Homo-oligomer: A and B are copies of this chain.
Amino acid sequence: MTSPYDTGLAKTEANYQPLTPTSFLARSARVYPDHTAIVHGNQRFSYTEFYARSRKLASALAARGISKGDTVSVMLANTPPMLEAHYGVPMTGGVLNTMNTRLDARIIAFTLSHAETKVLIVDREYSALVAEALAMMDGDRPFVIDYDDPEFAQSGPLIGATEYEEFIASGDENFAWKVPEDEWDAISLNYTSGTTGNPKGVVYHHRGAYLLGQGNAITASMAKHPVYLWTLPMFHCNGWCFPWTMSVIGGTHICLRQVRAKAIWDALADHRVTHLCGAPIVMSTILGAPDEDKRTLDHVVEFFTAAAPPPEATLAAMADAGFNVTHLYGLTESYGPAVVNDWSAAWDELPASERAAKKARQGVPYAALDDLTVMDPETMLRVPADGETLGEVMMRGNVVMKGYLKNPTASDEAFRGGWFHTGDLGVLHADGYIQLKDRSKDIIISGGENISSIEVEDTLYKHPAVSACAVVAKADDKWGETPCAFIELKSGQSVTSDDVIEFCRQHMARFKVPRHVVFTELPKTSTGKIQKFKLRDMANDA
């Protein structure tokens, strides 16, 4: 039997529009035209200007041939062009690829080739490195645009065909950008280090970016006109989607090139920052500032942290300093944070150690994430909610990536059984909160950056004196974790820790280099598998 709702109620232009976060900026430019959208040193851009500059960027990119499905890569610090790229690139139908500025030339070259980058915008601070990468890359070279930050004197070479301000000056501030044909269309591309082989390109879509953009505002209870400080690199998961969130509620972006204590404290006080995000290392930086750099705050600042549970002492110190810390969890594959340690007022009454234990749990899904649970990855059955049974953390919902670019095998594997397999091991508590217990992949998170232990091991194995090696995380007060290398030397060989560290520096990005090197026989199972859990204990005892 047909229902009366089956006919005559089709989609039209009047009642259906693809979801896209670019619409947030258009609205803020209409509703808050004179409100300050961006502060960068002495620069100020109103929402009118932010929108106009983004449209000029889109117009200029379109004139260069960028359209649906074309990649625009950027190697930028947290500066105005980075924010403009989050709108200007999608307005063309193009896909924004924000590159980690700490990577080495080889991986940058791989990324540019793999992403089939058509246009590349490079901050002068990174131009020498990028020039090296361009020389290495396979495939067509992108059209390169330099960004010469007026707020930051630099001496790096100009390597592009034009400079950013000149480029956008050629664009039309009334450019008639369109919403995507389909909200499922790609909006951005974020490479994740993964554990083996080359980085994987995580593709986001407009729908997910819209929903997580709004989701942040709801999860963070953000009222209109927040002031957001950019301590989190925007190259991480599109800054956890906060470049889009701010436009939902007419917020002000306070740009920050470098995570330095004095600059943070000054911004907090001078701009009355209401929100900021970062790995635990950012909290350490804030708390560790010399007293003369600290400022007195007359308002509570909301701090969102992820990557590792905030330690009890840090939480207490942050509270004393005027911050309210919320613990989030997510992955590049979930647009950044999609899980929140939603705090119950009742927990305020607990003793500090129990409060910290509650705070250490990763939590519950954002409203934008449909489900979050812990499963046995073999059977795909949910583990009991007993806080003890270990399983793999699984997610599903509209804020899970489209998939990995040009890697259907990895995508299929990640989505096996209709759930996104996070690769993180955890438990499900009786109250529905999840908590991570270990990572099933060999990832070390140092200062908020993922380091693949396998990548480091691959490098170590290239050293002529190394017979066998294993790299694990060592707990670190400042960085959260640092890589610790255990090495068995070849018979008759002799080498120092410094030699090994220097060797690594020549072959990988600096933040990945082991801080500690231990020469020892590696503990192995009867079948010869290295027992990493024993090494972790040894690393932390060392």
Compute how far the CA of A501 lies from the CA of B217 in the bound complex, rounded to whole angstroms.
52
Contacts of A313 in B (CB 8 A): none
Query: Which residue of the partner chain B has the closest CB to A23?
Result: B370
Contacts of A400 in B (CB 8 A): 14-15
Q: Cβ of B4 and Cβ of A405 under 8 Å apart?
A: yes
Instruction: From the candidates B6, B186, B367, B414, name the one contacting A27 in the complex (CB within 8 A).
Output: B367
Query: Which residue of the partner chain B has the closest CB to A8?
Result: B408
Q: Cβ of A31 and Cβ of B370 under 8 Å apart?
A: no
Compute how far the CA of A422 lies from the CA of B12 in the bound complex, rounded to whole angstroms.
16
Query: Which residue of the partner chain B has the closest CB to A225?
Result: B345
Contacts of A365 in B (CB 8 A): 27
Residue A270, interface by CB 8 Å? no
Contacts of A397 in B (CB 8 A): 15, 17
Query: Which residue of the partner chain B has the closest CB to A71?
Result: B4
Contacts of A396 in B (CB 8 A): 13-15, 17
Interface positions of A from 391 to 413, Cβ below 8 Å from B: 395-398, 400-403, 405-408, 411
Q: Cβ of B432 and Cβ of A30 under 8 Å apart?
A: yes
Q: Cβ of B420 and Cβ of A186 under 8 Å apart?
A: no
Interface positions of A from 83 to 97, Cβ below 8 Å from B: 95
Contacts of A342 in B (CB 8 A): 31, 224
Query: Which residue of the partner chain B has the closest CB to A222?
Result: B221
Compute how far the CA of A186 lies from the CA of B8 in the bound complex, rounded to whole angstroms.
12
Contacts of A415 in B (CB 8 A): 12-15
Contacts of A13 in B (CB 8 A): 396, 415, 418-419
Q: Cβ of A398 and Cβ of B17 under 8 Å apart?
A: yes
Shortest A501–chain B CB gap in Å is 38
Q: Cβ of A9 and Cβ of B420 under 8 Å apart?
A: no
Query: Which residue of the partner chain B has the closest CB to A16?
Result: B398
Contacts of A370 in B (CB 8 A): 17, 23, 179
Shortest A205–chain B CB gap in Å is 8
Contacts of A305 in B (CB 8 A): none
Q: Cβ of A5 and Cβ of B203 under 8 Å apart?
A: yes
Shortest A45–chain B CB gap in Å is 19
Interface positions of A from 1 to 29, Cβ below 8 Å from B: 2-17, 19, 23-24, 27
Contacts of A419 in B (CB 8 A): 13-14
Shortest A225–chain B CB gap in Å is 8
Residue A356, interface by CB 8 Å? no
Residue A461, interface by CB 8 Å? no
Q: Cβ of B218 and Cβ of A402 under 8 Å apart?
A: no
Compute how far the CA of A8 lies from the CA of B249 in the bound complex, rounded to whole angstroms.
35
Query: Which residue of the partner chain B has the closest CB to A247?
Result: B367
Residue A70, interface by CB 8 Å? yes
The dominant DSSP class at the A interface is: loop
Q: Cβ of A31 and Cβ of B248 under 8 Å apart?
A: no
Shortest A447–chain B CB gap in Å is 29
Q: Cβ of A221 and Cβ of B224 under 8 Å apart?
A: yes
Residue A69, interface by CB 8 Å? yes
Shortest A188–chain B CB gap in Å is 11
Residue A126, interface by CB 8 Å? no
Q: Which of A7, A9, A420 has the most CB of B within 10 A?
A: A9
Contacts of A402 in B (CB 8 A): 5, 9, 15
Contacts of A7 in B (CB 8 A): 408
Residue A364, interface by CB 8 Å? yes
Instruction: From the candidates B11, B27, B68, name the one contacting A184 in the complex (CB within 8 A).
Output: B11
Q: Cβ of A15 and Cβ of B401 under 8 Å apart?
A: yes
- Chain A 494-522 per-residue mask, 1 if CB under 8 angstroms from chain B, else 0: 00000000000000000000000000000
Instruction: From the candidates B3, B23, B70, B431, name the one contacting A70 in the complex (CB within 8 A).
Output: B3
Compute how far the CA of A400 lies from the CA of B7 in the bound complex, rounded to whole angstroms.
17
Instruction: Please judge, given known A-B contacts A17-B397, A398-B17, whether A418 and B367 are in contact too, CB under 8 Å.
Output: no
Shortest A134–chain B CB gap in Å is 20
Query: Which residue of the partner chain B has the closest CB to A221?
Result: B223
Residue A214, interface by CB 8 Å? yes
Compute how far the CA of A431 lies from the CA of B34 in the bound complex, rounded to whole angstroms.
11
Shortest A461–chain B CB gap in Å is 32
Contacts of A367 in B (CB 8 A): 23-24, 27, 214, 248
Interface positions of A from 30 to 89, Cβ below 8 Å from B: 30-31, 33, 68-71
Compute how far the CA of A408 lies from the CA of B408 in the bound complex, rounded to whole angstroms.
43
Interface positions of A from 429 to 487, Cβ below 8 Å from B: 431-432
Q: Cβ of B4 and Cβ of A406 under 8 Å apart?
A: yes
Q: Apart from A17-B396, A217-B218, A248-B367, what are 15 other A-B pairs with CB-CB below 8 Å? A: A3-B69, A4-B116, A5-B95, A8-B403, A8-B408, A9-B403, A10-B403, A14-B400, A14-B420, A15-B420, A16-B184, A27-B365, A33-B431, A214-B218, A223-B223
17 example contacts (A-B, Cβ-Cβ < 8 A) are as follows: A4-B116, A5-B186, A9-B405, A11-B184, A12-B418, A13-B396, A13-B415, A13-B418, A14-B395, A14-B414, A14-B418, A17-B397, A23-B367, A31-B364, A217-B218, A218-B249, A221-B249
Instruction: Report, nearest first, the 7 A-B pairs whose CB atoms are least far apart.
Output: A3-B69, A13-B418, A8-B408, A221-B223, A15-B400, A14-B415, A9-B402
